[in-house]
């Protein structure tokens, strides 16, 4: 592989991971906005009840799996490694958000919520990568 091909491969890898992250964040934020707009979620400066945080955990986990699937699908090679790279970034961002908001106001009092999101980042990435990998033909199959 020459330098141009290596550069293109790296660019496609970065694109795959970034697209997974961008799509995952965009869908999550859009859902949050809708749920606030229809008044299912309280205003941003108020605490969200635990039941609604469980709902948010569920849809964020589904979106994370989907974003990781997209990352794996777009990866030029090693789809699981790409999905997990996105998961590592998600873990780091979630962990930073957890630490930075730990005692920041009433809307951040449910400490279980960011901890669970942080803990689910890597398993969600793995699940998305695995779903994609299972759709690939077996190495020795004839198609």
User: Tokens representing 5?
Assistant: 């091909």
User: Which pLDDT tens digit goes with each residue over 95-131?
Assistant: 999 999 998 878 888 999 999 999 999 999 999 999 9
Cα 140 versus chain centre, distance: 32
Instruction: Domain count for the chain, please give it.
Output: 1
Residue 143 lies in a domain: no
Residue 103 lies in a domain: yes
pLDDT for residue 116: 97
Range of the domain at 118: 3-135
Residue 88 lies in a domain: yes
Measured CA to CA, the distance from residue 123 to residue 111 in angstroms comes to 20
Residue 141 lies in a domain: no
Measured CA to CA, the distance from residue 128 to residue 87 in angstroms comes to 10
Measured CA to CA, the distance from residue 52 to residue 38 in angstroms comes to 13
Residue 65 lies in a domain: yes
pLDDT for residue 141: 61
Q: Is 77 helix (H, G, I), strand (E, B) or coil?
A: coil
Residue 78 lies in a domain: yes
pTM (2 d.p.): 0.91
Measured CA to CA, the distance from residue 35 to residue 102 in angstroms comes to 23
Measured CA to CA, the distance from residue 19 to residue 71 in angstroms comes to 7
What is the percentage of the chain residues whose pLDDT exceeds 70? 98
Mean pLDDT, each 10-residue run in order, the chain (143 residues)? 88 97 98 96 91 97 98 97 98 96 85 96 98 89 55
């Amino acid at each position: 592989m020459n330098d141009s091909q290596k550069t293109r491969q790296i660019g496609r890898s970065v694109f795959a991971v970034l697209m997974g992250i961008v799509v995952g964040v965009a869908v999550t934020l859009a859902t949050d906005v809708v749920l606030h707009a229809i008044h299912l979620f309280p205003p941003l400066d108020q605490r969200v009840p635990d039941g609604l945080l469980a709902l948010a955990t569920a849809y964020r986990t589904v979106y994370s799996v989907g974003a990781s699937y997209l990352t794996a699908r777009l990866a030029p090679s090693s789809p699981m490694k790409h999905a997990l790279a996105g998961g590592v970034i998600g873990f780091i961002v979630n962990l930073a958000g957890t630490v930075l908001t730990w005692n920041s106001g009433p809307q951040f009092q449910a400490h279980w919520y960011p901890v669970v999101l942080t803990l689910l980042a890597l398993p969600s990435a793995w699940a998305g990568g695995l779903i994609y990998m299972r759709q690939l033909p077996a190495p020795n199959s004839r198609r």
